[in-house]
Chain A
Amino acid sequence: MGEKTIYQQLKEEGFSRRDFMKFCGLLSGMMGLEFVVPAQALGALAGPDPSLLVAEALKSKPRLPLIWLELQDCAGCTEAISRSQSPSLVNLVLDKISVDYQETLMAAAGFQAEQARLDTMKKYHGQYVLVVEGSPSTGENGVFCTIGGRSNLDLLREAAEGAAAIIATGNCAAFGGIPKAKPNPTGARGVSEIITGKPIVNIPGCPAIPEVTTGTIAHFLVMGELPKTDSLRRPLTFYGHTIHDHCLRRPFYDAGKFAGGFDDDGARAGYCLYKLGCKGPTTYNACASLKWEQGLSYPVQSGHPCLGCSEPDFWDGGGFYQGQSAPLDRPTSAVIGTVAGVGTALGIAMAGANHLKKRNAGKRTTPSGKGSPE
């Protein structure tokens, strides 16, 4: 390929060598490289230092073409990425390294935009990364979500066909998210339920943590493959631990000190939010370690229980403020009343039958003159 490498491109834009190495260091940290097996794809190029590994990749590889599709979404994941206060990382990855088509961010509109997508798909067939935000709608052949007059299913399948890898960002694309919440009128599903035979990685979250999305893109760029994932296809580097595992309120949980309300003394003292419905113990995500806004804070630190937004069907997983131990379904009082009534009636009927049996037995024994009903 006669294309410029990423390093050449960055150099032309005024990046010094120092800037470049700093960027590589940050990028390798963002990818969580210390946790992954050194890239076999890069063979001899791979150095022991993760940032050198990244540097080699950026020096030798052209920019990664990327198409970002938005289906049934709120553009929240895009918002999170475009507003994240880490320009040196997230924006650099997206501006300098990739993104050819992104409906919300691109200047082009209408047919012009669609043409850009088609051009990229044609030019980089089999090489580009497809990022999907929002859930595909499958109901009525996908008419609930159309772009440029075409159903979202069509667009997704078309774009997936030539993709080297697919990254489903946000809970909607990963697991169906909010559109899939009961009663799921549009037949929303996760991308991996529709597209098969392609490497797919899920970056669930509502929104997905920007650094996790870009970190995964960077991983693909540097390593030439998607990161190792758990059974729900989430990168282990970021989804290997629960919020609870790394929670800064964890000592209060262990000591049994809980906030009973959002403004009681416990809440002011920073106690555990378990009683307020925190889903941290069953939620796998990097919020508690990476945090948001350059490590400023994350929901639990800010005083709000974890909603479990990186888990499948989090919207239907019981009330957000209902304790996690509480049942998800409970019979209504009418049902309980009816059941108790039926049980009572059966008990009475059985007791009556017993009485009758006893009395009959008594009658049978009386004529002989030997025994009495008692």
Chain B
Amino acid sequence: MEWTDILRFFRGPFFSISLIIFVGGMAYRLFRIVLLGWPRDRVESRGSKAVGVLRTYLKGLVFFPFIPWVRRTFARNSLTYIAGGLFHLSLFLVIFFATPHVLVWKSLLGFGWPTLPSPVVDGLSTIGIISLLLLLVNRLTHPVLKLITRSPVWLNWTLVFLPFVTGYAMTHRLLFRYEALFSLHMITVDILLIWIPLGRIPHFLFYFFSRTIHGAQAGKRAVTP
């Protein structure tokens, strides 16, 4: 079996299957959780829910990332804060703005958008890989984290780390032939797609639900979220 055959399988039918599992699984997880229900909020409205939602997003996504030291979380856990933040930023930018990835989005959605220059994407993925390694070391050495970390977390880390590394190796043609690296990248991406609905990664979607709900509650009570 040639690498090109392996590549064709993981770029073709297996990718399709992974995507189907991902979409079905995410729909299931989403409705399963949204319909869990929450207690009726009988508190009298003292402020605007919309303002609360807006404030929480502005603070969480726009302001705090740039002035992290004002938060206690930062002071206590600066490594987690910085490495975690950089990891999420690089992951987002690489997935949505690297040229090869935009071509994937274009083929899936029918439209594309401008891309980031390759050297920038390269730098971002380097940052992502280093951040992930730092977070791993932290988790391996921190006495409390070590205690509360179970196998799904290690699996999570591995399955996110592998596409990063194989993608980086592929762009730089490290160690193996391009088709081999491309295949490895596709294999790891496909496995990640299947794993996402099963693990904790759906927070990329649920995050927005919880932020919206908490922001709305805070807004209604006229407190700072």
Residues of A at the B interface (CB closer than 8 Å) are 231-232, 242, 244, 253-256, 258, 274-275, 281-282, 311-313, 317-318, 322-331, 335-336, 339-344, 346-348, 350-352, 354-355, 374
**B106 in the interface (beta carbon within 8 A):** yes
B36 touches A351 (CB 8 A): yes
Interface size on B, residues (CB 8 A): 44
Encode contact with A along B104-122: 1 for CB under 8 Å, 0 otherwise: 1011100000011111110
| Residue B100 CB within 8 A of the other chain | yes
In the bound complex, residues from chain B placing their C-beta under 8 Å from that of A322 are 103, 107
A172 vs B104: C-alpha distance in the bound complex, in angstroms?
A: 30
29 example contacts (A-B, Cβ-Cβ < 8 A) are as follows A255-B117, A255-B119, A256-B118, A256-B120, A275-B103, A281-B182, A282-B7, A282-B178, A282-B179, A282-B182, A323-B104, A323-B107, A326-B106, A327-B12, A327-B15, A328-B15, A329-B12, A329-B16, A330-B108, A339-B27, A340-B23, A343-B25, A343-B28, A343-B31, A344-B31, A347-B31, A347-B35, A351-B32, A351-B35
Question: Is B146 in contact with chain A by the CB < 8 A criterion?
Answer: no
Known: A232-B2, A329-B11. 14 other contacts (CB 8 A): A256-B115, A258-B115, A274-B99, A313-B8, A322-B103, A323-B106, A326-B103, A330-B15, A330-B16, A340-B23, A347-B28, A347-B29, A351-B32, A351-B35
Beta-carbon contact of B103 and A323 below 8 Å: yes
Residues of B within 8 A of A281 (CB): 178, 182
- Bound-state Cα–Cα, A311 to B181, Å: 17
Q: How far, in angstroms, from A324 to B170 measured CA to CA in the complex?
A: 13
Q: Which residue of B lies closest to A347 (CB)?
A: B31
The docked-state distance in angstroms from the alpha carbon of A165 to that of B16 is 42
Q: Does B24 contact A (CB under 8 A)?
A: yes
**In whole angstroms, what is the CA distance A115 to B151 when docked?**
74
B26 in contact (CB, < 8 A): yes
Does B73 count as interface, using CB distance less than 8 angstroms? no
Measured in the bound complex, the distance between the Cα atoms of B107 and A329 in whole Å is 10
Enumerate chain B residues within 8 angstroms of A336, measured Cβ to Cβ: 19-20, 23
By a CB distance below 8 angstroms, the chain B residues around A254 are 118
- In the assembled complex, which residues on chain A have CB atoms less than 8 Å from the CB atom of B99? 256, 258, 274-275
Closest residue on chain A to residue B35 by CB atoms: A351
Decide if B143 is an interface residue (CB 8 Å cutoff). Answer: no
Known: A242-B178, A275-B99, A317-B8. A331 touches B32 (CB 8 A): no
How far is it, in angstroms, between the C-alpha of A168 and the C-alpha of B28 when the chains are bound? 53
Within 8 A of A (CB), among B37-63: 37, 39
Instruction: Report B's interface with A, CB cutoff 8 A.
Output: 2, 4-5, 7-8, 11-13, 15-16, 19-20, 23-32, 35-37, 39, 99-101, 103-104, 106-108, 115-121, 178-179, 182
Residues in A whose Cβ lies below 8 Å from that of B23: 336, 339-340, 343
Q: Which of B28, B36, B39, B107 contacts A327 (CB 8 A)?
A: B107
A311 and B4 within 8 A (CB) = yes
Say yes or no: B11 contacts A344, CB within 8 Å.
Answer: no
In the assembled complex, which residues on chain B have CB atoms less than 8 Å from the CB atom of A354? 36
Q: In the complex the two chains form, is A312's CB within 8 Å of B2's CB?
A: yes
A162 CB → nearest B CB, Å: 31
Interface of B is mostly: helix
Q: Are A325 and B20 in contact (CB under 8 A)?
A: no
Chain A residues near B32: list those with CB within 8 A: 346-347, 350-351
The interface residues of chain B lying within 8 Å CB-to-CB of A255 are 117-119
Query: Out of B26, B35, B108, B182, which one reaches A348, CB within 8 Å?
Result: B35
Q: CB-CB < 8 A to A256: which residues of B? A: 99, 115-121
Contact B27 A347 (CB under 8 A): yes
A231-B2 contact, Cβ under 8 Å, with A255-B119, A331-B16: yes
Per the bound structure, the CA–CA distance linking A322 and B31 in Å amounts to 35
> How close is B161's CB to chain A, nearest CB, in angstroms?
20
Whether the pair B107, A326 counts as a contact (CB closer than 8 A) is: yes
* Chain B residue at minimal CB-CB distance from A242: B178
Of B5, B19, B25, most A-chain CB atoms within 10 Å? B19
Instruction: Select from chain B the residue with minimum beta-carbon distance to A326.
Output: B107
Chain B hits for A318, CB < 8 A: 11
Q: Given A232-B2, A256-B117, A275-B103: A327 and B27 within 8 A (CB)?
A: no
In whole angstroms, how far apart are the Cα atoms of A53 and B176 in the complex?
35
Nearest B residue (CB) for A313: B8
Residues of A within 8 A of B29 (CB): 347
- When distances are taken between beta carbons in the complex, the residues of chain B under 8 Å from A325 are 100-101, 103-104
Closest residue to A350 on the B side, CB-wise?
B32
**Nearest B-chain residue to A311, judged by Cβ:** B4
Q: Complex formed: what's the CA distance from A326 to B119 in Å?
A: 21
Q: How far is the CA of A341 from the CA of B101 in the complex (A)?
A: 27
A329–B35 touching, CB < 8 Å: no
Report the separation of the CA atoms of residues A344 and B100 in the bound assembly, to the nearest whole angstrom.
31
Residue on A nearest B185 in the bound complex, by CB = A325
- A327 touching B16 in the complex, CB below 8 Å, given contacts A254-B118, A256-B117: yes
**Are A348 and B31 touching (Cβ within 8 A)?**
yes
